[in-house]
Every structure is written in C-alpha cells, then in structure tokens.
Amino acid sequence: MIADYRDGYSLEQPFYRSPDVFERDMERLLTRRWLLVDHESRIPDKGDYFLFNIGNESIIIIRESDDKVNALFNVCRHRGSRVCLEQQGNKRLLTCPYHAWTYNLDGELRPPQLMPPDFDRSRFNLHKCHVTVYHGLIFVCLSPGAPPDFAEQYAPFDEMMDFHGFGDAKIALKRDYPNRCNWKLVVENFLECYHCAPSHPEYCSVHPPDQLLALGAGPGSGPEEAMEKYQPILDEWTEKTLAMGHPVPEFERDEHSLDLAQLSRVPINDRNFASETRDGKPGCKKLMGKFRECDHGETAFVFNPTNYILAFNDFALMVRFTPRDAINTDVQFSWLVHKDAEEGVDYDTDNLIWVWDVTTKQDKQITENNNAGIMSSRYRPGPYSMHEARVAAFIRWYLNAIRLPA
C-alpha cells in the first residue's frame, strides 16, 4: 500500500481502520518520538500523578520531588496488573491492587511478602519511560532504546518558549473531546483550513478571510497566490512587532524529518484582535512571559503532528492528539495562563476558551463523519486541494516514518 500510494491523495481505507496498520503506526512512529503529555503544574506536590494512555500503553507521570518528575510503565512486575487504576491522584507509594507489590515513586520495588530467599527485587522495578520537562511541559518517549536527543531536536524553539514563559504558567482549564476516528483523520483536519468557511463560522469571525486563505493552518497551508496577496499585511505586522522587541521566528522541517516540526508567528486579525477570544480583547489581564504589551500575534509551536501549542500574549492552548486504537483518538485541549492569574479577577474562562471549544466540538463532528464515510465500501482516496498542502506533506511524512525498519 505504501508503494502504491498516489501523491497528493488521501490514503487507502486500511490506513484509517486496520488494527494491523495501527500496530505499525505505534511501533514505527508513535513510540519513537517525543510526545507532549501535559504541563507540570498538573502535578504540583510530591506524589501527585496522572496517567497518559496511548494505544495499549499506560504511563504513570508522577512527581517524586520539587525538581523530579518520573514516567513509569503502569505494569506491575509480578504478573502484569495495572498498578494505578485512577486517572489521577496522589500516592505516597505505588501499590499494585492485585497482590500488593509496592514501589517507591521512582519505581523501585520494595520487599514483597512470601518470595523465595534468592529473589532479587532489583530486577523487578517498574519499567521506566523516557521523560523530560521542557519549559514546564512534560514530554515522554516510549522507545525501548535511546530516545532522540530532545535538546538538539527542539533547540530552535528555545527563545520563543522562554519568551512566552511556559515555565511560569498554570492550567486554567482542561477539556477532552474524544473522537471516534483514526488519529490521522484528526491530524489531517487540523492541518488544513479548506473546511473553515463551511464548518467554523465562529473561528472565521475572529480571523479575516484573506488570512484564512493564506495562513489558515499555518505557513505553507494555503495557495501561493493567497500568500503573496497577504504578505504586505504580514510584513507590516512583523516590522511593528520586532520594533516592540518581540521575536518573530519562522522555522519548518519537511517530510523527511523526524518530527515535521514548525514554529511561526502571525497576526491574529491585523490590528482588531489583541487575542483569540470571543470579543478580541485580552483573555487574561496578566500577560505571559516577557510580554508587556499586546502585539496582536499568535505563535504556533508544532512539536510533531500530534502535539501543538498555540500561544498568544495573554494565554496559550496546549493541543494533544493521542491515538488509542485504529478508530479512536483522545483529543485534549489545555488552556494555560500566568501562574499568578486568578479566575474571575484576571480572566473569564468562558471568554478564554470560546474560540477553540466551539471549533473543536465542530471538528469532532467533522472527523467522525469523515471516519464513517471512509468505512464505506465506496470510499476511494480523493485529491487534495491547493488549500491542503500541509495535509499532503503530513501524509508523505507519515509514509516515510512507517517505512522505517522494525
């Protein structure tokens, strides 16, 4: 199927529904990349934990100390039971509910009862998962071997991550939008704005039509002519933003890269919208990071096709698409604000989340309808429009990744 793929078209049906293909996705692609799982403010105290579930894997993300976050496979080394059953909580120790094997917060096994004298408990600690905390963001890599070099991979993001101050942020709200469809359909939908006008009237009320056509899903997502027409507006905004001392980075990796990473800053709506909120006014009075005034800009961090941050001067949106099986994907959005911001005083949650909450609910219906149609015996791959260039690039990246040897 990989060899027969026709460039510029959607994939054949099995790529969106086959358990065998999903297993290959997990093995060749999803377990070999760094994945954004959450912000560390979710686990502020020692023993605080949450579970990150992807495919058949469950990972315990737990705080051991002020400066140490661990990631452990949620599999007891006795007979394989899940150790943590609740999605989140606080644990002094990690005790398996089946036979009470107990582990320290770093996964070290404590002496279990009734084991033979020659039992070597050092061989039966919980399996560790690669983990790193980057500007307050928690990433894991499920690879059984050495993970990619995180610092090298995301060095181009450092300046802008620091400028937005994610390390001094907190989660204002978190919402889940489970999708009954393959993870690639969720990603494809997110990477194009060809559907914005017919499907997202609220989103379109915030962004002008010429911008949506040129940059609706980021640089490179629209027709070249549309970008040429919009370029003078972008240039004017860039000049004023740089004069304010605010960076305007632009970085992009192609389909032959490990992560298809991208970093860009663009205006939200020329001069009319200070933030991506219902009324266009800042959603939070306390600006984040090094911002001291609004530049009407939006920063898009694309870590990989399943993990994004959309950041404004006053708040940020953490986007996580997590594959569960061939036809189910967890979609989670987390809104971040300055750690000292107070709800009801500095920000109104409804105004803060309005754009993406309504848009993501619409996207859920869109992608689930897409999935239902693909299940038909009459489905055939269709051609991408000029407004779906990033989708085509994603598909090429995906096929390159799953071509890799086991």
Distance CA 189, CA 340 (A): 35
| Predicted local distance difference test score (pLDDT) of residue 152 | 96
Distance CA 21, CA 17 (A): 8
Backbone dihedral region of 91: left (phi > 0), alpha (psi from -120 to 50 degrees) or beta? beta
Helices (H), ranges, 267-311: none
Distance CA 91, CA 140 (A): 20
Distance of CA 150 to the CA centre of its chain: 16
| Predicted local distance difference test score (pLDDT) of residue 271 | 64
Torsion of CA 113, 119, 122, 126, to 10 degrees: -60
pLDDT single digits (tens) 169-187 = 999 999 999 999 999 999 9
Distance CA 43, CA 39 (A): 8
Residues of the chain with pLDDT under 50: none
Maximum Cα–Cα distance across the chain: 77
For the chain, what percentages of helix, strand and coil (3-state, to nearest 5) are there? Answer: 30, 25, 45
Sign of the alpha-carbon torsion through 30, 32, 38, 44: positive
| Predicted local distance difference test score (pLDDT) of residue 232 | 95
pLDDT single digits (tens) 108-141 = 999 999 999 999 999 999 999 999 999 999 999 9
Listing DSSP states for 153-165 in one string gives: HTGGGHHHHHHHT
Determine the 3-state secondary structure of 140 from DSSP: strand
**pTM for the structure as a whole:** 0.96
Which of these, 141, 38, 61, lies nearest to 107 by C-alpha position? 61
